[in-house]
Structure 1
Amino acid sequence: MTPTRVARFCERFGLRVPILSAPMAGACPPALAVAVAEAGGMGAAGVVLDGPERIAEWTAEFRAGSSGALQLNLWIPDEPVDDPARVAAASAFLGRFGTPGGPGPAAPVFAEQCDAVLAARPTAVSSIMGVFDAGYVARLHEAGVAWFACATTLDEALAAQEAGADAVVAQGMEAGGHRGTFDPAAAESTTVGLFALVPRLADGLDVPVIAAGGIADGRGAAAAIALGASAVQVGTALLRTPEAAIAPEWAASLTGLAPEATRTTRAYTGRLARAAPTPYVTAWAAPDAPLPAPYPQQRALVARVRRGEPAGLDRSNHWAGQSAALATAEPAGEVVTRMWREARELLSP
């Protein structure tokens, strides 16, 4: 039988199934969020790269297709790292992959993004890489908007709970995309697997735990719930769906990808993340490769080459969790429905 905590979570956040789409910046168009929400889960958007106007547009597109639950995600900004030599070395190495174009648009202002996601009134605003300040948390709660905080350790999760988080996303090291460690320098050494992390957080927190990382079918969802999660969050499992509409090269890199073949890399943005082993990613792991520039300078350098004349640089960041081989090219709503049906069967006595 489904644990009572799952039923409580679903009732609180207006879900029929305890499955959340991961807020994947650059890979969560409104159509994907609509499909997940209409299947009874929670749709999502990662808006770290979006200004207020785009956040409003995206939310309007979602609401034109669904009245279901929605999560909008923001990154807590890193403290700036001033290392001109490292940036210069990374820029020179990127010259192997094309000629840079002109500067792009200015990066969004974090405070303006915070205002925009609050104005959008999603079901939840989520954070990664840290915690929101007390004033913003109060504004969220006054508006009836929940805060989901990503954490990779119990210490991070306790800090989020103390700061007012309504739920904690337990991100295992299996997850595709960026590691959510609060300290960017600690990302390589903070590699706790999901099925060690979930019970530790479930035992140590008073708020619900949402399991994320390596979950791509009903077996993974059932296991996470059995270990104490109230819901699961899936990203790579949805990347090959037609609604995600990722680049064909990225989708192809996920097909049959073995767990051990994925790579953690800072090559795309300067923040550690798990990706498919493309030639570009592999090149940055070679003995002669420099350290990528710090975040967000590396992201800006990569973007400039993509705007110029790229040669050998991936068109998009090929994020891939360790369960990538389980991802299927079926509609997102069917993925969510099947995953929960399989999980329920496994959880039933």
Structure 2
Amino acid sequence: MPREDFRDTSDNQVLQTLGLTYPILQGPFGSGHSSAELAAAVSNAGGLGAYGAQHLSGEEILQLAADIRGRTDRPFNLNLWVPRAKEWGEPSSEAREQAYLQQLAPFYRESSLPLPTQAENTLHSYREQIEAVLDARPAVFSFVFGIPEAEILKRCAERGIKTLGAATTVAEAVALERAGVDMVIASGLEAGGHRPAFLTEPEPRSLLTTFALLPQVRDAVSIPVIAAGGIADNRGVRAALALGADAVQVGTAFLACEESGASGLHKQLLRKKDGVDTVMTRVVSGRMARYIRNRLTEASAGWADPALPYPLQMSVMRPLSRASIASNNPDFATLAAGQVTGLSQHIHAAELMAALVGEPVAGPGT
């Protein structure tokens, strides 16, 4: 496919609907790894920049949207997590939390940190976040772990906000379309960060690769399909489009760019030319996710109780991760990564965008 085909909007619903130059979406990263600078850089380069706003309050979301709009007049995407009625595994209890904290005690001592007295729920109000997104009116509101209520989807449509839901199975993609969601992400097991499954738990035996899931989703729904997972260069983009994707979502390669909110240590590991090992784990948040393998993920794999339920697990992991990153030590850091670490060596988002669509660039790191 000649590179000018990436600019042809005549039969591409994503480009037509969103007014993009290229069918490239940036993955929305949580935990502060997104940045207004990265979102704007991707949008200014002709793609769809994004920001994972799950950790922000409603007021902070409005401030964020204003910040992004101060950097670009192009479309962008704000992402939230849909609350789930029940979490994986057994409910937490005080006895369970105390036993779990004792498993972590040696790591806390090694990091010169006081052990928390209990796990906490630090989530912001979902309703407040939704109202802020509706007021902010991004071009796209994307979500994971479920489907927003019909009223929310209706209010998005009334405001001209396109909705984008993530699916890890064909059944989830069909459910999103039936609910009236505008576009669907076919998210393969290669993708970094959390598995956004919502109809069934994302156990390893049920995980599908991107290029196994994508054509099945394409055949099952009529709405635009965005491929995500294992895509970090022009070859991946072309392969996804050839299998029926209307666009692709790129996460790890953009996370490694200087404009992202990831730490220097995180970016350094993502750019290792020989790559790094990743593993599916619940130790980061209580929900299954793909992160860089380290002492924390290895230790937890052998624990009888590998993780507390979400979001309690996040509260006991956060201090360890921050201390580990501050000391430039990956042992206890929670470092999201897909299976394509090292594939992209581009330092800046605009260079990566050009490489993804096959435009000539001066070279990695320039």
TM-score, normalization by structure 2: 0.86
2:26: which partner in 1?
21
Structure 2: distance between partners of 1:87 and 1:101: 10
Aligned equivalents of 2:275, 2:298: Cα separation in 1: 16
Corresponding letter in the other structure for 2:106: R
CA RMSD of aligned residues (A): 2.5
CA distance in 1 between partners of 2:276 and 2:207 (Å): 14
Separation in 2, partners of 1:209, 1:60: 29
Matched, 1:319 2:319: no
CA offset at residue 101 of structure 1? Answer: 5.2
Helix, strand or coil: the match of 2:353?
helix
Q: Which moved more, 1:12-21 or 1:309-318?
A: 309-318
Partner of 1:346: none
| Residues 32-53 of structure 1: per-residue CA shift (max 9 Å, x gap) | 0011000000010111111011
Q: Distance in 2 between matches of 1:166 and 1:276?
A: 33
1:35 maps to what in 2? 41
Partner of 1:100: 115
Matching of residues 78-157 of structure 1 within 5 Å: 78-81=84-87, 82-84=91-93, 85-98=95-108, 99-100=114-115, 106-157=122-173
Question: In 2 relative to 1, CA 138–247 (structure 1 residues): closer, same or farther, beyond 3 Å?
Answer: same
After superposition, the Cα gap between the structure-2 partners of 1:159 and 1:183, relative to the gap in structure 1 and judged at 3 Å, is closer
Report the residue type matching 2:308 in the other structure: A
Deviation at residue 105 of structure 1 after TM alignment:
8.7
2:348 matched residue in structure 1: 331
For 2:111, the equivalent position in structure 1 comes to none
- Please state if 1:77 is matched with 2:83: yes
Q: Does 1:280 align with 2:293?
A: no
Q: Provide the C-alpha distance between the structure 1 equivalents of 2:322 and 2:347, rounded to a whole number of angstroms.
A: 32
Structure 1 residue 118 displacement after superposition? 1.0
Quote how far apart the aligned CAs of 1:88 are: 3.3
Greater relative contact order structure (CA < 8 Å, 6+ sep): 1
Question: Runs of 5+ in structure 1 lacking a partner?
Answer: 344-349
Between the aligned residues of both structures, percent identity stands at 36
Query: Residue type of the partner of 1:301?
Result: V
Distance 1:296 1:183, change over 3 A: farther
- Contact 1:148-1:166 at 8 Å conserved across structures: yes
Q: How does 1:1-349 map to 2 (within 5 A)?
A: 1=1, 2=5, 7-25=12-30, 26-81=32-87, 82-84=91-93, 85-98=95-108, 99-100=114-115, 106-183=122-199, 185-256=201-272, 261-285=277-301, 287-288=302-303, 290-305=305-320, 316-341=333-358
| One-letter amino acid of the counterpart of residue 35, structure 1 | A
Deviations 1:241-263 (A, max 9, x none): 11014212212322337678210
Q: 1:74 to 1:6 in 2, by over 3 A?
A: farther
Deviation at 1:188, TM superposition (A): 3.0
How far apart are the structure 1 equivalents of 2:322 and 2:13?
Answer: 47
Counterpart residue identity of residue 250, structure 2: V
Deviations for 1:186-209, whole angstroms, at most 9, x for unmatched residues?
343331000011100111101010
**Unaligned 5+ runs, structure 2:** 109-113, 361-366
Report the alpha carbon displacement of residue 237 of structure 1 after superposing the two structures with TM. 0.8
1:86 and 1:292 in contact (8 A); partners too: no
More deviation, 135-144/302-311: 302-311
Query: CA offsets, 1:8-27, max 9 Å, x none?
Result: 32121010011010010121
| Aligned amino acid, residue 13 of structure 1 | L
SS at match of 1:341: coil
Distance in 2 separating the partners of 1:61 and 1:6:
33
Following the alignment from structure 2 to structure 1, what is the Cα–Cα distance between the partners of residues 21 and 341? 25
- Return closer, same or farther for 1:284/1:315 CA change in 2, 3 Å cut-off: closer
CA distance in 2, matches of 1:136, 1:249: 39
| Contact 1:280 1:313 survives alignment (8 Å) | no
Counterpart code for 1:290: D
Residues 346 and 352, structure 2, Cα contact 8 Å, conserved in 1: no
Query: CA offsets per residue over residues 204-263 of structure 1, 9 Å max, x none?
Result: 101010000010000000000000000000110112211014212212322337678210
Q: Is the 8 A contact 1:13 1:69 kept in 2?
A: yes
Kindly tell me: are residues 195 and 86 of structure 1, through their superposed partners in 2, closer, same or farther at Cα, counting changes over 3 Å? farther
